[in-house]
């Protein structure tokens, strides 16, 4: 029975290791999606930025305000569209800047400040990898040790519970002398 437990423990350790190395891989793929969306948003703003450079000292907010003040409804609608693209670009730039930190900070940032659309895209298109860089190996070993510790704790508690129950039942069925 002990050898079977050890094989299970090794299997749990291996599963933890493989799960752990996916964490930096997922963060990396998320970061690449943020970069792609940021480049697309920046590309969408190029013409408006050129107009802002020409007439408003490069200030897109002034261009948007000019569009909003226009009596033409088309310009009013364009103001909303340009503002939406500009705000998206600003948000993605902020995400990109925060995702350039160390691996633990990037992971924490992703857990607490993710973009729901990009997170869903990353989840849907995630390609499992086994990266062999120090960060992935560190995450893998930590997760493996955590899984193994949880396994050992649950087995230990199960054995203890079964032992207590067995002795309680045995005591009930043992005749008194």
Per-residue confidence in pLDDT tens, the chain, 177 aa: 688 878 888 888 888 888 888 999 999 999 999 999 999 999 999 999 999 999 999 999 999 999 999 999 998 899 999 999 999 999 999 999 999 988 889 999 999 999 999 999 999 999 988 777 888 888 888 888 888 888 888 888 887 888 877 777 777 776 665
pLDDT at position 122 is 97
With vertex at residue 35, the alpha carbon angle to CA 128 and CA 50, rounded to the nearest 5 degrees, is 160
Identify whether the C-beta of residue 67 lies closer than 8 Å to the C-beta of residue 82.
yes
The strand ranges marked E within 30-152 are none
Pull the structure tokens for residue 136.
């992935």
- CA dist 20 and 92 (Å) reads 27
3-state secondary structure of 100: coil
Identify whether the C-beta of residue 151 lies closer than 8 Å to the C-beta of residue 8.
yes
pLDDT at position 8 is 84
Taking CA atoms, 150 is separated from 7, 98, 158, in Å, by 15, 32, 12
Q: Which residue has the tokens 């998206």?
A: 88
pLDDT at position 63 is 94
pLDDT at position 175 is 67
């Amino acid at each position: 029975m002990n050898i079977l437990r050890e094989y299970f423990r090794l299997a749990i350790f291996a599963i933890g290791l493989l799960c752990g190395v996916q964490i930096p891989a997922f963060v990396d793929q998320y970061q690449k999606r943020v970069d792609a969306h940021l480049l697309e948003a920046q590309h969408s703003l190029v013409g408006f930025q050129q107009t802002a450079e020409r007439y408003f000292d490069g200030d897109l907010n002034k261009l948007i305000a000019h569009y909003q003040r226009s009596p033409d409804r088309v310009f009013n609608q364009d103001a909303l569209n340009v503002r939406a693209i500009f705000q998206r670009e600003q948000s993605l730039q902020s995400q990109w800047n925060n995702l350039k930190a160390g691996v633990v900070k990037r992971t924490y940032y992703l857990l607490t400040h993710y973009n729901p659309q990009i997170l869903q895209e990353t989840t849907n298109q995630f390609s499992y990898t086994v990266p062999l860089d120090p960060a992935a190996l560190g995450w893998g070993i930590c997760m493996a040790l955590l899984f193994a510790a949880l396994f050992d704790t649950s087995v230990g508690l199960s054995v203890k519970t079964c032992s207590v129950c067995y002795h309680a039942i045995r005591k009930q069925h043992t005749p008194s002398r």
